[in-house]
Amino acid sequence: MKFPLYFSRKIAFSKDNKNNLSRVIIFIGRLSVALGIIVSLITVSTGFGSKKAIKERLADFSGHVTVKSTRSNSSYNTSVLDKEGLNVPKLKQLDDVESTQKYATITGIMRNEHSFAGIIFKGVGKDFDSLRFKKFLVAGKTPQITEKGYNNGVTISEKIAKDLHLKVNDSIVTVFAKEDQKQIYRKFQIVGIYKTDIKMIDEQFVIGDINHVRKILDMNPEDVGGIDVFFKNVNDIDKDFPQVEKLIGYKNYAEKATEKFPQINDWISIFDVNIALIISIMLIVVIINIIMVLLILIIERTNSIGLLKTLGATNAQIRATFINYTLIIMVPGLIYGNAIGLGLLLIQKFFGIIKLNPENYYVSVVPVDLNPVAILSISAGILFISGLALIIPSYLISKISPVKSIKYS
């Protein structure tokens, strides 16, 4: 074993060489490391967790990628998807694609004696992924679509249900209107109520039978207004988006889930800035405290440094010894910090103690993403950067004269 590592371990684990000052300094150093780890873990796990949760909610509701006709306008009344160049079978065969589902949308107004609500009626077909949608249900179910005839069941959001005083099994009249034509009335039965916590979705969307939209918009029985494409992993969106674009034809276009609501995408991007800022602050605090620990240990052990120089140890060896000694001191702080940080995160993950206002944060509970790579990277990064930061202050050792240090010992 090399001398610096051997000697640093000897003094670090020795029980008879720590006076009261050493104990206080070492405790402060370990406490700062532990707090830095705890804050960094919570910041990264909740930040990445929030990003992932919001993306997954957007994607699970309307597809990781949505294919639309270039003729679709901003009124949400979808135009028929152009079949030229559109290769749905090949789209389904992409490695990362889990499923696809067709849909068509039209705007309308739900009204009763209590109030009214402007809605986007999203008509879905028999390939609708009700299992994926199940996580959003708070009551009832989704309509069972067969595309034979018309299913009058609809699933509405909790927000719309509260505004119109509706519950499962109630009926509601909805008014649709095509351009330059008279109003069209449809009576639906509420079969389910959902909640995504995303305001822009919960305030507008109603899930129902695609045949109603086809009839109102004069579509053919096989026509669709768009295709929702679901990937196996929400993180595959950017990677697989170009592959989807190649299979949809030049008269259609693809849109990522986060692009549908730019304000949500802007909100998600803020997390990256906040995570970087908080970790940087914590890292600076840890480095300052660790440098302080190193300097005090050097001053406290001036006599030992002089003795080592007298016995032939070089400045580089002594610097390495004290750097190793300081890093060894940090290890218990890393262990306790990870234990406490992960413990708090696990409690939040399984019990959801800390709640949020979904109108502001798009989620009702603080989400946690326990990524092993991120967890290990935080500890390894703090240890590595602290080691580099200790190199410059360790040069104070070269200023210590062995004659003077031993003379005044």
Which DSSP string do the residues of 329-392 spell out, in sequence order? HHHHHHHHHHHHHHHHHHHHHHH--SB--HHHHS-SB------HHHHHHHHHHHHHHHHHHTTT
The torsion angle over the Cα atoms of residues 247, 250, 255 and 260, rounded to 10 degrees, is -160
| Pairwise CA distance, residues 217 & 32, whole Å | 65
Closest CA to 103 of 132, 133, 78, 86: 78
| Token reading at 257 | 């889930």
Which residues touch 369 (CB under 8 Å, ≥6 apart)?
Answer: 45, 46, 48, 49, 52
Question: What separation, in Å, do the N-terminal and C-terminal C-alpha atoms of the chain show?
Answer: 30
Count of Cβ atoms closer than 10 Å to residue 373 Cβ: 7
Count of Cβ atoms closer than 10 Å to residue 21 Cβ: 12
- Rounded to 5 degrees, what angle do the CA atoms 122, 125, 126 make? 145
Q: Cβ(297)–Cβ(325) under 8 Å?
A: yes
Tens digit of pLDDT at every position of the chain (409 positions): 476 666 666 666 665 555 567 778 888 888 999 999 999 999 999 999 998 898 889 899 989 999 999 887 666 888 999 989 999 999 999 999 999 999 999 999 999 887 899 999 999 999 999 999 999 999 999 999 999 999 999 999 999 999 999 999 999 999 998 766 778 999 999 999 999 999 889 999 999 999 999 999 999 999 999 999 999 988 889 899 999 999 999 999 999 988 888 788 888 888 888 899 999 999 999 999 888 888 887 777 777 777 777 777 777 887 888 788 888 888 899 999 999 999 999 999 999 999 988 888 888 899 999 999 999 999 999 989 988 888 888 877 766 666 555 554 5
Q: DSSP label at 393? A: G
pLDDT at site 329:
84
Sign of CA dihedral 238, 242, 247, 253: positive
The HSE-up count of residue 222 (CA atoms within 13 Å, CB side) is 2
Amino acid at 396: L
Q: Cβ(78)–Cβ(106) under 8 Å?
A: yes
pLDDT at site 395:
78
Query: CA dist 290 to 164, 383, 390, 399, Å?
Result: 60, 10, 8, 20
pTM of the full predicted structure?
Answer: 0.81
| Pairwise CA distance, residues 67 & 193, whole Å | 26
| Pairwise CA distance, residues 240 & 261, whole Å | 20
Q: In whole angstroms, how large is the CA radius of gyration of the chain? A: 31
pLDDT at site 1:
47
Which residues touch 364 (CB under 8 Å, ≥6 apart)?
Answer: 197, 355, 356, 357, 358
| Token reading at 231 | 């990937």
